[in-house]
Amino acid sequence: MTKAAPMSPRPSFDRCLVVDDDEDILLAARLLLASLFLEVITTTSPDEAVAAMKREHFDAVLLDANFARGATDGSEGFRWLGLMQAADPTAAIVMITAHGSVAVAVAAMKQGATDFVSKPWKNDRLLGTVRNAASLGRMRRSDTGSTNAKTAGSPLLGTSPAMARVQSLIEKAAPTDANVLILGENGTGKELVARELHRLSRRAAGDLVTVDLGAISETLFDSELFGHAKGAFTDARTDRVGRLQSADGGTLFLDEIGNLPLHLQPKLLTALEQRRVTPVGMNKPVAIDIRVVSATNMAVTSLGDERLFRQDLLFRLNTVEIELPPLRERREDIALLLNTFLDEFRMRYDKPDRKLPADVLAGLVAYDWPGNVRALRHAAERAVILAEGGTYALTDFPFGRSAPVAEATPVDDLNLDRVERQAIEQALKKHAFNISTAATELGLSRGTLYRRMEKHGL
């Protein structure tokens, strides 16, 4: 292994590990990353890298996707990625892929890689990616000094207390066969939670079969869920295996469970209780071994209404209940999510790396995001496509007209500090955190407004 001496000023992170079979790549990475890390350790041997990761923590790891001469499918890199994750589940691993290997990069991130860079890389792209990865790696260990292996590589981004609770519930529920009910508004990531529960379960080798109950017509309900025999009805030209039987040995994800009509709920309940299904047109039931994960955006009060949802079915589904917080209740995660999405779409569309000014980020954090993480992701994609110049502007993000406006100051509150703070908040939110416009309305210069914002912690 080779180590690089740090450059001044003192780097932000301790150690980085770079694994590649090209000595020139290692030299370039070592020189470039010395500004970020006290130690940049490089090696051409993945075996040596895994052994090092078992001995000590690295804030970030860069791993080549291909080692064999002429290889392009990333299979060898994926194998080493798995071994590295086993050696240090908290590691933030960035895959180094060949230029244009989008499929390899996507597959790597699905397997748990934090991010990827293509070679030949752009220096600013590599520095930004590794800096974000190192920050994530440090956060994974910050609470207890070590993060459980089960949460490593999770696609559920966020370090807020609300997301920590969600991750904790997933970690506890996943290894069991307990049925899980996921609650949350549209766009909060319910399907991601279902996938995590399956990925971390003992059934991970089996299939995760998704059924969108809001998209299945009542007339096809029996056939879709339970299957049918050839000739059971018109157009039944072959035998068909239903979704429940397809999930045998794996996990059945019932999305939008709240949309299931009341009169069809007993059929599902019977199948889940008996662990058997009888395909349409057959008399002999088929045994199934499934774990059920359900999700709904229906309010808890509505689920408790017998006129809308059978309580015996609800009891069967929610052995463990996981409620996902809306994005407005975990604003501290918005910066991480936004930067992740901007990087993803910038690479996808081959767009330049633009800066995200502090006032623009503040405006995005202040917004309530009624569409939650899904809406933020779409907004980031739009911004990457439409932005011009070297920085993002609020107008690049599609939320302007519905941006929140602070409530007016109560007339009976005459405390000058509170009045000033609320006036500044109201002006900033009214003008989507455009500092110049807000300052004009407040009768202040930009510099004065910045000083007042700092004074009030805004």
Query: Residue 165 corresponds to which tokens in the numbers above?
Result: 């609770």
Contact 183, 314 (CB under 8 A): no
**pLDDT in the model for residue 173:** 93
In order of their start, the domains of the chain are 2-151 (3.40.50.2300), 161-325 (3.40.50.300), 328-402 (1.10.8.60), 416-455 (1.10.10)
**pLDDT in the model for residue 414:** 54
DSSP 8-class letter at 281: T
**pLDDT in the model for residue 320:** 93
Which of 149-158, 245-254, 380-389 bottoms out in mean pLDDT, i.e. has the lowest? 149-158
Is the whole-model pTM more than 0.85?
no
**pLDDT in the model for residue 143:** 41
**pLDDT in the model for residue 370:** 87
Cα 137 to chain center, whole Å?
Answer: 15
- How far is the CA of 300 from the CAs of 55, 194, 304, 371, 419, in angstroms? 47, 19, 6, 19, 38
Look at residue 145 and tell me whether its pLDDT is greater than 60: no
Helix 123-142 with 334-348: angle, nearest 10 deg = 150
More confident residue, 204 or 231: 204
Q: What is the mean pLDDT of residues 176-190?
A: 93
Give the pLDDT band of residue 376 (cuts 50, 70, 90): very high
**pLDDT in the model for residue 433:** 67
More confident residue, 441 or 355: 355
Share of the chain above pLDDT 70, in %: 82
More confident residue, 108 or 245: 245
Give the pLDDT band of residue 108 (cuts 50, 70, 90): confident
pLDDT digits (tens, 9 = 90+) for 353-362: 889 888 888 8
Give the pLDDT band of residue 96 (cuts 50, 70, 90): confident
Q: CA-CA distance, 106 to 273, in Å (whole number)?
A: 39
Q: What is the mean pLDDT of residues 74-82?
A: 80
Q: What is the mean pLDDT of residues 262-289?
A: 88
**251-255 and 291-296 strand pairing:** parallel
Residue with tokens 């975990």: 330
Look at residue 166 and tell me whether its pLDDT is greater than 50: yes
Q: CA-CA distance, 382 to 254, in Å (whole number)?
A: 31
Average pLDDT, the chain: 81
- HSE-up (13 A, CA, CB side) for residue 274: 12
Q: What is the mean pLDDT of residues 309-321?
A: 92
Q: What is the mean pLDDT of residues 265-292?
A: 88
